[in-house]
Amino acid sequence: MRKIVLGFVALITSFLVYGDETPFEKYPTFKVDGTLKSKVEYATSIESTRFSVNSSRVGVQGYFSKYFYYRGLIELSGNGKFAPLDLYADFYPAEGLSISFGQRTIPLFNNYTIVPTQLMFSNSPFLGGYMVGARDIGLLGQYQFGLFDIPTSVEFGVYNGGNINAPAWHKRPSYGGRIALGTMQGWRATVKYYDHDSSLEENIRYDLYGADVRYESDKWKIETEMMKRRDRAQGEGDILSYYVQGAYIHQLDKDKMIKNFIPALRFDGIDQNGNSGFDVNRITLGLGFGLSEKYLSSIFRIDYEHYFVNNTPHFMSTDKTVTSNKVTVELVLVF
């Protein structure tokens, strides 16, 4: 692992020294963006209601030069908690190659399973919330190229293993990578692996691996994914999770308040320690009313979640509302 880190440093240094310089006449650039995601939920099993601001994010992004991109994103109130999220800079030393420093999403999760503004439903699939932290501080390299005329991306990153805002010292960093074939429009498939050694807790050491396939067009979006977590430290934290989800986008008059109409359906499940069958399965029905021409962005939606519980995993047992059937009404605004 030490050789890998030193190799990254040597590679970056060589690009900095020998890269071609050109005048940056239009730089730096600056853009502000943000999200407000608020909802009301009704849990049928305990007949209780909760209002919440599930996410309120403000970010800045832009290019310092044609070689450097920066991104900062903070969570003002994610269920009442403040948190720094994306804090990184990208370096583009050559065509197709990028190297990222700082805190950002690890190369394990797809944005549409963890980013509030890209979710197909109000709540993320199980594998987006229970496997491991989605962000960490580290170094990520990505190379994009064509493989037999198929757009291909290879990513590899090295991280602290402490999740967000935790610059802890460690003897063995976490690392992982992903290979993706295709683009977000049309067909896309990925395989990924992540070795997580927590720098904060000695008894947390996981192997995570998974694969997904998706298809997206102007009217359809279909996605399926499976992910496995193996507990190397205690052997008691093994988790297997899957989801299959899809949405149909019916475009309406662009001059009206409602731009599109989006029915959606999801099946997902999660199992701990390899019990017979999945411990919890869930069916989610969604009905969305798009407020912008970019579907599944700014949206007003109504979701219904129905749970089938065979055995309650310990990480779901602390709150009865977690596995309760729910009706959710949500408003998401993206600017």
Separation between Cα atoms, residue 246 and residue 263, nearest integer Å: 9
Structural domains in the chain, CATH included, are 36-334 (2.40.160.10)
| Each residue's pLDDT tens digit, 97-112 | 999 999 999 999 999 9
Nearest to 85 by CA among 33, 7, 137, 144: 137
Whole-prediction pTM value?
Answer: 0.86
| Each residue's pLDDT tens digit, 42-56 | 999 889 999 999 899
243-253 mean pLDDT: 94
Residue 17 has pLDDT above 70, yes or no: no
Contact by Cβ (8 Å): 268, 237? no
Split at pLDDT 50, 70, 90, the class of 18 is very low
Split at pLDDT 50, 70, 90, the class of 236 is confident
Name which residue leads in pLDDT, 11 or 308.
Answer: 308
Average pLDDT score over the chain: 89
65-86 mean pLDDT: 91
- The span from the first CA to the last CA of the chain, in angstroms, equals 41
Residue 16 has pLDDT above 70, yes or no: no
Residue 314 has pLDDT above 90, yes or no: no
Residue 170 has pLDDT above 50, yes or no: yes
pLDDT on residue 179: 97
